[in-house]
Structure 1
């Protein structure tokens, strides 16, 4: 594991907080407790005696430091499971568009009504695409590559319907075959290929970080997080008992706000985090 100590500059007389991201949620730990930040890049040693929230241990400055899965502690889906679900969804959407082309071809040959989505925003992928949010720029960039061929694929059905106005049967069949060739040999394969590539892009875009904190007895703990984003000043806005959350609130001291961060920041309780080791 590539370990680097990152000194955090704190303004005199001002309490500062290290801002962490897990999924779409923002958390914070006191900068005074942070003694190291580095990217989790290598295999971790296993050691008995810890809770299921601990992934393993590392050698940090000559000391054995346990690594706490913060997603696990907060009741969030582990990244490995999240990635599997994403891959499964991509596989389903690939199959959808292969069958879409097959069904359009069948309807042309059998002169049957085509009942699948002609609007790219109304198929299962289109609905997911329009509602999907992520801060991962690599994922967003590759998703945008799908937009054009996906739109052209669905537009093929509308263009096929327009062929019904061609009076000459031979000319109509030629036009329909041209459209289906575009759909089956160009648009659909490109959509399927890009959906397949998305599985690897999603995985590669995840760059897990480790934040090492220490308690008053100088015991150390590594927090595994999705991202470390900034150092901020925070102002508390309400008690932890006054908010509802999709994750476990047991490790949260209070909810805070920052002028530079959109939404709420959940300030983590250091003592509770250490108690989750065993």
Structure 2
């Protein structure tokens, strides 16, 4: 039986043998930068009086940091919220002036709808909030046909009255959901440094991960050997495929097992020179 700890790094689940983990701690943006061309290297932290290199595991795996991904997603949600305010403004203008309404009437064809239909997340809070978008988002888009027809048959005033009611109800609900979604994104970012060890006493390397996931007891039979055929490549100078010693499958969930002893063997010579100066 083997004890492992699982962590999240982007969309990946990463595992370390418990004996390879010296300590985990909240990341406080306290890494000291060192000269390096490798943007996955955050810097060095003097941990237990040992200058320990800290690598951003999400950036290694996905090419961008979790913090940048979070910021991009929050910006996107702001933009898609703005889109729907402008959508209703355009509809109001069409009702008032009789000009053609050219924005998307199909909720699956607006920028948010296309993103919404394809977006996947491991953030359970965000997933729960996004599920609530479906109905009000469809209601908003249904207003175009409904209110333009109403303006033609019952008059502009009646159509504008209903539009104003929808601003106060459905649009307000949608805006509250956008706000809640952004909060779910920002509150989920709780970066942790995993200090790895080769001897159980001193740190080897540190890895920035998005969050601690869970602990598992597994059988050796749950670990399948991982063979790199050179097709798998990640960002940065660390040769991560060589560091992945196996694929763990437990209860139909997969994770990548990282072996710190393989990591040290993969360190670029340039970094070793930098670390000796830190």
Q: Does the C-alpha gap of structure 1 residues 160 and 224 become closer, same or farther in structure 2, counting only changes over 3 Å? A: same
1:260 is matched with 251
- TM-score, normalised on structure 2? 0.76
Which runs of structure 2 are paired with 1:13-162 in the superposition (5 Å)? 14-40=1-27, 42-46=28-32, 48=34, 52-58=39-45, 60-61=47-48, 63-74=50-61, 76-162=63-149
CA contact (8 A) 1:19 1:232 kept: no
How many residues get paired?
Answer: 259
CA contact (8 A) 1:107 1:113 kept: yes
Q: How many Å separate the matches in 2 of 1:76 and 1:100?
A: 34
- SS of 1:188's equivalent? helix
Q: Does residue 223 in structure 1 map to residue 207 in structure 2?
A: yes
- SS of 2:229's equivalent? helix
Equivalent of 1:241 in 209, 229, 233: 229
Q: Does the C-alpha gap of structure 1 residues 30 and 240 become closer, same or farther in structure 2, counting only changes over 3 Å? A: farther
- SS of 2:106's equivalent? coil
Q: How many Å separate the matches in 1 of 2:79 and 2:71?
A: 12
- Report deviation, 1:179: 1.9
- Point out where structure 1 has 5 or more consecutive residues left out of the alignment: 1-13
Q: Does the C-alpha gap of structure 1 residues 244 and 151 become closer, same or farther in structure 2, counting only changes over 3 Å? A: same
- TM-score, normalised on structure 1? 0.76
- Report deviation, 1:204: 1.4
Deviating more after overlay: 234-243 vs 177-186? 234-243
- Report deviation, 1:78: 0.9
1:203 is matched with 186
Q: How many Å separate the matches in 2 of 1:192 and 1:228?
A: 31
2:275 is matched with none
Q: How many Å separate the matches in 2 of 1:44 and 1:273?
A: 23
- Report deviation, 1:193: 4.6
CA contact (8 A) 1:254 1:267 kept: yes
Q: Does residue 213 in structure 1 map to residue 196 in structure 2?
A: yes
CA contact (8 A) 2:40 2:56 kept: yes
2:174 is matched with 191
Q: How many Å separate the matches in 2 of 1:58 and 1:261?
A: 37
1:10 is matched with none
Q: Does residue 250 in structure 1 map to residue 234 in structure 2?
A: no
- SS of 1:92's equivalent? helix
- SS of 1:135's equivalent? coil
- SS of 1:240's equivalent? coil
| CA deviations over 1:208-249 (Å, ceiling 9, x no partner) | 122221124944322111123233533215512176467679
- Point out where structure 2 has 5 or more consecutive residues left out of the alignment: 273-278
CA contact (8 A) 1:101 1:183 kept: no
What CA RMSD, in Å, does the superposition of the two structures yield over aligned residues? 3.2
CA contact (8 A) 1:26 1:266 kept: yes
